[in-house]
């Protein structure tokens, strides 16, 4: 299976100790393909952590604001057609017996995701990411939405790193003028999740890469990564961000992409 990583750098305890003392060497693979089809090529029980934001299934769109660098106004496959059960089956298959999984979602579709999630992972929390602004929506008929939900679950009994934190994370969203993807997540948030649930040398999977934030954070935190993204318009964005991160992060970081 062409997406498996050699055992020599999957993050044994001895290897993690060496990472602290010698040249850092991480490996990153990016495939521009449909997530469910591409996941079938990932070897069983190889992934330590999943951090991903699938299409929320609510056909979200927005106009292109002046001065923003983002070129897209819609999310592909966001009309509710994603086969969530099949996706969760594949995520269960590729993850190790001791692993964590984070999936971003919306209050509008959380029940659907929660049912599928709990068939394969033990749901431990629904985290709340509280932002510094809110959506527009029905201005006079509803409260302004200013948060997203994150399903957090595990296989086995893998512990979180560090102290016990609360289940609400307060971080500003990526400002509109800096967005390179419609639902781009802040690096500080993704880094926080990666560091709580993995160690240097571990393998992190993001089947819905978007602008490549998960991969960038993996480079910066000395993790390996696999990313999938079906919208090839984001290919130059992901590759540029990954290469920039590799240039500014000490060590050697191999980045391989495929159409």
Hey, where are the domains in the chain?
A: 10-258
**Which residues lie closer than 8 Å to 47 by C-beta, 6 or more apart?**
94, 95, 96, 99, 203, 204, 205, 226
46 vs 25: CA distance, rounded Å: 18
Long-range pairs of 110-117 with CB within 8 A, sequence gap ≥ 24: 110/149, 110/151, 112/57, 112/84, 113/84, 113/151, 114/151, 116/84, 116/85, 116/87, 116/88, 117/88, 117/151, 117/153
Q: What is the pTM of this model?
A: 0.84
Tens digit of each residue's pLDDT, the chain (259 residues) = 445 544 443 445 554 454 444 457 999 999 999 999 999 999 999 999 999 999 976 555 555 555 554 455 555 555 568 999 999 999 999 999 999 999 999 999 999 999 999 999 999 999 999 997 766 666 778 888 889 999 999 999 999 999 999 999 999 886 666 676 577 799 999 999 999 999 999 999 999 999 999 999 999 999 999 999 999 999 999 999 999 999 999 999 999 998 6
* pLDDT at residue 144 in the model: 85
* pLDDT at residue 133 in the model: 75
Pick the CATH number of 10-258 from 3.40.50.150, 3.40.640.10, 3.30.565.10, 3.30.930.10: 3.40.50.150
* pLDDT at residue 145 in the model: 85
* pLDDT at residue 8 in the model: 40
What would the two tokens of residue 71 be?
A: 């070129």
On the CB side of 257, CA atoms within 13 Å amount to 19
């Amino acid at each position: 299976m062409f997406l498996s990583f050699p055992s020599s750098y999957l993050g044994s305890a001895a290897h993690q100790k060496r990472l602290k003392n010698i040249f850092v060497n991480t490996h990153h693979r990016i495939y521009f393909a449909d997530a469910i089809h591409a996941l079938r090529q990932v070897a069983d029980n190889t992934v330590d952590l999943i951090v991903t934001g699938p299409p929320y299934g609510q056909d979200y769109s927005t106009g292109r604001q002046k001065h923003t660098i983002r070129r897209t106004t819609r999310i592909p496959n966001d009309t509710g057609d994603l086969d969530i059960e099949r996706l969760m089956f594949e995520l269960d298959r590729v993850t190790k017996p001791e692993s964590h999984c984070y999936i971003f979602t919306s209050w509008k579709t959380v029940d659907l995701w929660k049912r599928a999630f709990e068939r394969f992972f033990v749901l431990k929390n629904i985290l709340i990411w509280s932002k510094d602004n809110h959506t527009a929506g029905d201005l006079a008929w509803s409260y302004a939405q200013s948060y997203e939900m994150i399903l957090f679950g595990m296989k086995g009994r893998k512990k979180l790193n560090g102290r016990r934190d609360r289940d609400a994370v307060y971080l500003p969203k990526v400002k509109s003028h800096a967005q390179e993807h419609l639902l781009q997540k802040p690096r500080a948030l993704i880094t926080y999740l990666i560091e709580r649930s993995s160690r240097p040398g571990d393998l992190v999977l993001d089947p819905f890469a978007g602008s490549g934030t998960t991969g960038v954070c993996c480079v910066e935190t000395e993790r390996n990564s696999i990313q999938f993204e079906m919208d090839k318009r984001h290919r130059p964005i992901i590759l540029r961000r990954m290469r920039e991160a590799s240039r500014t992060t000490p060590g050697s970081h191999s980045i391989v992409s495929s159409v």
